[in-house]
Amino acid sequence: MLSVKPDFYDNFKCIADKCRHSCCVAWEIDIDEDSLRRFMAVEGEFGEYMRRNIELEPSPHFVLADEERCPFLQDNGLCKMILTLGEDSICHICREHPRFYNELPGRIEAGLGLCCEEAARLLLEGREHLSLVTDGVDEGVEDELLELRDEIFAILREDDLSFTARMEKALDIFGMEPLDLDVEAIKELYLGLERLDEDWTKKLNTLAPVELEPALSKMRYLRLAEYFIYRHFASAPDEYEAALRLQFAFLSTRLICAMDMLTDDNEATRLYSSEIEYSDENVDKILDYIDEKNSLT
């Protein structure tokens, strides 16, 4: 079995108190069975504090404190549980976030979700195309979607072409053309999805027609498109769905580029990831929109 990870994976370290958008705020944190057993056995005052802040129904989770903060998140941004019981004490979800794993034929692919500002920084600041680091035994399992993904990655590396030309060439493999960036229709679609953060709504409302090239051909957007393709393409159930996900990767990258050009806080990638990528329902609705547009061409 091969394990695969993107080039920036091993450089990740949670920036804890330096993080401006901590994942310990606004997310209800579920507690896995093993951790719950350990938490229930912690003695003394801290054990009592832990148990006061755990609710067992509908499934075990920490009770959020004021301003939806994790009850262990201190004002200085550090985790009281880590400081008291050590790094190994935290539950599975806290240990793993923002990592994700895709099980594919003959391999497990790991990655870092861009809803984490540090993961997004590491991806976007890379100076070379996204490369994949492999480890383990290659069992020679063949997979059509992984082969197609390699073909797409090779096209994205053709640095003598603009991003737009590379996108057209990659979509042509599936007989598709890039989606028309009809700003009003895109705004209506995204504003109609579930939204969590006011800043995301503001960001969507800034969208306006804008010439994306040459900014879109910068390495940060190539790496972003490569990341979306790495995360979403090869786990599709069939080739058509994979092609829709390729369109999704390019649409997402172009929208983020437009938002970056129209505002100057560089927050679009993190917000896009947490509002869209982390909601299967939102991704499915965007894929339905792409499917509908594609069937009209």
Q: Binding residues for ligand SF4, how many (CB under 6 A)?
A: 11
Nearest to 110 by CA among 239, 226, 255, 2: 2
Distance CA 15, CA 19 (A): 6
Nearer to ligand SF4, 16 or 42 (CB): 16
- Give yes or no for residue 26 binding ligand SF4 (CB under 6 A): no
Which residues are 6's β-sheet partners? 132
Nearer to ligand SF4, 123 or 251 (CB): 123
Contact by Cβ (8 Å): 163, 213: yes
Which of 6, 60, 98, 111 lies at the binding interface for ligand SF4 (CB under 6 A)?
98
260: buried, middle or exposed (CB in 10 Å: 19+, 13-18, 0-12)?
Answer: buried
- Choose the stretch contacting ligand SF4; rule: CB under 6 A; options: 10-18, 130-138, 156-164, 214-222: 10-18
Distance CA 218, CA 162 (A): 9
Q: Which DSSP letter does residue 164 get?
A: H
- Give yes or no for residue 82 binding ligand SF4 (CB under 6 A): no
Which of 5, 6, 22, 273 lies at the binding interface for ligand SF4 (CB under 6 A)?
22
| Contact mark string toward ligand SF4, 107..146, x via CB under 6 A | ---------xxx----------------------------
Cβ atoms within 10 Å of 14's Cβ, excluding its own: 17
Which of 23, 249, 251, 259 lies at the binding interface for ligand SF4 (CB under 6 A)?
23
Task: Find the shortest distance in angstroms from Cβ 117 to ligand SF4.
Answer: 6
Q: Which DSSP letter does residue 25 get?
A: B
Q: Using CB under 6 A, list all residues that contact ligand SF4.
A: 14-16, 19, 22-23, 97-98, 116-118
